Amino acid sequence: MYPSAAAASPPRRDFISVTLSPEEGRGSGGYNNSKAWRRRSCWRKWKQLSRLQRSIILFLCPALALCGVISYSSLGEPWKSLANKSLSDQRTEAAIPGLKLANPAVLPAPQKADGHLGDYPELAPQKPPKLPHGRRGPPSLQLKPPRRNVRLKTQYDTSKAVEEPVQAEREENPERPVISWRGAVIEPDQSPEPPSGKVKEAEKPSSVEAEEQKEPVPINERQVAVIEAFRHAWRGYRAFAWGHDELKPLSKSYSEWFGLGLTLIDALDTLWILGLKEEFEEARKWVASDLVFDKNVDVNLFESTIRILGGLLSTYHLSGDSLFLEKAKDIGTRLMPAFKTPSKIPYSDVNIGRGTAHPPRWTSDSTVAEVTSIQLEFRELSRLTGDDRFQRAVEEVTRQVHSLSGKNDGLVPMFINTNSGQFTHLGVYTLGARADSYYEYLLKQWIQGGKKENELLEDYMRAIEGVKKHLLQRSQPKKLTFVGELAHGHFSAKMDHLVCFLPGTLALGAHNGLTADHMKLAEALIETCYQMYAQVETGLSPEIVHFNLHAQKGHKDVEIKPADRHNLLRPETVESLFYMYRFTGDKKYQDWGWEILQSFNKYTRVPTGGYTSINNVQNPSNPEPRDKMESFFLGETLKYLFLLFSDDIDLINLDKFVFNTEAHPLPIWVPA
């Protein structure tokens, strides 16, 4: 259904074939005689020359040869790059069915009408210039920028032209924190210090201290397709929802959740990683001038931590721009009232303007996943600012949850009470909604802290054993391994799409030295998650599936209930595909991700800009668009697809970074 690039690519020719004429091949006597004759005749002529004439010729020959060598080396490069360009363009077009680089109908021409979005920029690779000493914040964690071997536009080459002014600026005023962004100069905001004091000189993430800059790896055709999808989504957001939380692409409007530009912040580091420099600069300007947290709004602690705090921290690490750290400290500080509860288990909601917090109206419970999946971000905020209040607050939660009763072989219930600090609604266990990222953050915190916090690892290992013992089953007819749910001793063959984070997390654990069994389980589960897409009419997974435990004629493994057949553009499967490809190098994972991207493009893309959630993955003729683009589509789904298609392990190196649950990479404190 979806041809793989390998199948569609023309055979590569890495050789030049020279065909000799039959005469030349055989060699005639006439040819040899004539050559010998010419040699003799030349020698005779040389002898006839005077000594002076011979000396002049002997002097001129080497001089001309030298000139030739010099001029070839300066003129040769442009010719070489011209030749490369046309070859790579051809390969791109051959590998992506229907893709014509010069054809705006497929790679739409950038929108000019609004006067902001320029043409596809030429992002030629360059090493990020070293930032001046004394600037606040860590050295830029700038990863080698992905290089385009597929040129979308060859209008101009900015790489050298822009680096020179940066250099000049630095020499003129070495103290001024000029941030270079792949050739662009970004003036840092002159905003005042955040409310609660000075952001301390950040610790240098050791992961980058000694990193030598290697040559960037060129990006490939599938990555170009992701960039194109991102730009399409961004175009819609920019035109109809700029600065608002979410795009409503069909009604060409927006919806607000917290009123904090959620999509824009969630997408900042994706813009960076994809190399979308103009868009990044424009978004940065919005953050500098319009992102204000001093607002009388209730925000959800978990959602604003993983999307806003996480997004700002990772963008700070990637760009080295202190604006993002200042904003991170501001929002982090404003979220702290959530922890003022009788038990120190945080409330779900905080008013970031008033400094008050509360649980939801109907209960004093918080969700377990929510209170245990904010640790990566707050710990990192403490490390960067030197203010340990953030870390202490979240580690108190970890400490309490670690020793609570009510677990079932490491599996946790879904709710925890903010007064008593005890689990509630005991007896129900899932790896899906309300519990999922508890498990993810056990492992990831252990990795973040340099694999020293043994209790985190113990809880993680015990939980995976619990999953194996209570929740793993195999479906019929394909015998797909899946993770079901347990309610008061009764097994349910129900699996949320959210559970598809698990293969990636298991693979990450195995990569970090945990048992190879985890990798085996990861391989089995990612196959299942893929089938949740492949067995459905649109090629897109529903929100929830039920697996068949007994073979029935004409039935597939996956059953979908009418209430569950929506797709919210979620990332978990492509996230796991990314980890699986990174750790195994098995191209089938890239091919599966490619199929999923095609399906998103076919059924969720809105022609006027943006992508939409859909209500019915089983109806290709009318998938019933929902008119909403979730911020995680840009923050996570497209980012993971881009990384999945990359062969550059240094593009967010997993021995140096750990992704938060919203796909924002944070540095590992003591890297492997």
Catalytic, out of 572, 575, 591, 648: 572
269 binds ligand DMJ (CB under 6 A): no
Scanning 497-571, the segments in alpha helix (DSSP H) are 502-511, 516-534
d(CA 121, CA 280): 12
Q: How far is the CB of 157 from ligand DMJ (least distance, A)?
A: 38
Q: How would DSSP label each residue in 416-480?
A: EETTT--EESTTEE-SSTTTHHHHHHHHHHHHHTTS--HHHHHHHHHHHHHIIIIIEEE-TTT--
Of the pair 367, 481, the CB lying nearest ligand DMJ is at: 367
Q: Which of 646, 661, 666, 669 lies at the binding interface for ligand DMJ (CB under 6 A)?
A: 661
Q: How far is the CB of 512 from ligand DMJ (least distance, A)?
A: 20
Of the pair 91, 497, the CB lying nearest ligand DMJ is at: 497
Q: Which of 463, 662, 664, 666 lies at the binding interface for ligand DMJ (CB under 6 A)?
A: 662
d(CA 247, CA 231): 14
Of the pair 571, 609, the CB lying nearest ligand DMJ is at: 571
Of the pair 248, 307, the CB lying nearest ligand DMJ is at: 307
Q: Show contacts with ligand DMJ in window 322-351 (CB under 6 A).
A: none
Closest CA to 494 of 436, 430, 568: 430
Q: How far is the CB of 223 from ligand DMJ (least distance, A)?
A: 22
Q: Show contacts with ligand DMJ in window 470-499 (CB under 6 A).
A: 498
437 binds ligand DMJ (CB under 6 A): yes
Specify the DSSP class assigned to residue 363: -
Q: How far is the CB of 583 from ligand DMJ (least distance, A)?
A: 20
571 binds ligand DMJ (CB under 6 A): yes
Q: Which residue has the tokens 């952001």?
A: 199
Residue 424, marked binder: no
Question: Residue 477, preceding bond cis, omega within 30 degrees?
Answer: yes
Catalytic, out of 93, 303, 321, 326: 303
624 is catalytic: no
d(CA 628, CA 257): 12
Site string for ligand DMJ, 379-418 (x = CB under 6 A): ----------------------------------------
533 binds ligand DMJ (CB under 6 A): no
d(CA 157, CA 177): 25
Give φ, ψ of 525 to 5 degrees: -70, -35
Q: Which residue has the tokens 């005639």?
A: 28
Of the pair 197, 360, the CB lying nearest ligand DMJ is at: 360
610: left (phi over 0), alpha (psi -120 to 50) or beta: left
d(CA 371, CA 339): 10
Of the pair 216, 571, the CB lying nearest ligand DMJ is at: 571
Q: How far is the CB of 372 from ligand DMJ (least distance, A)?
A: 11
Q: How far is the CB of 599 from ligand DMJ (least distance, A)?
A: 17
Number of residues that bind ligand DMJ (CB under 6 A): 8
Q: Which of 135, 244, 570, 626 lies at the binding interface for ligand DMJ (CB under 6 A)?
A: 570
Q: How far is the CB of 183 from ligand DMJ (least distance, A)?
A: 32
377 binds ligand DMJ (CB under 6 A): no
303 is catalytic: yes
d(CA 72, CA 200): 53
Cα–Cα distances in angstroms (integers) from residue 174 to residues 187, 393, 426, 560, in the given order: 14, 39, 60, 62
Tokens of 391: 């870390």
Catalytic, out of 93, 330, 543, 636: 543
Tokens of 450: 């340099």
Of the pair 323, 338, the CB lying nearest ligand DMJ is at: 338
Q: Show contacts with ligand DMJ in window 640-659 (CB under 6 A).
A: none
SS3 string of 138-198? CCCCCCCCCEECCCCCCCCCHHHHHHHHHHHHHHHCCCCCCEEECCEEECCCCCCCCCCCC
Q: Which of 390, 460, 592, 632 lies at the binding interface for ligand DMJ (CB under 6 A)?
A: 632
Task: State the catalytic residues.
Answer: 303, 436, 543, 572
Q: Show binding-site residues for Ca(2+).
A: 661
> What does the binding site for ligand DMJ look like in residue numbers (CB under 6 A)?
437, 498, 570-571, 632, 636, 661-662
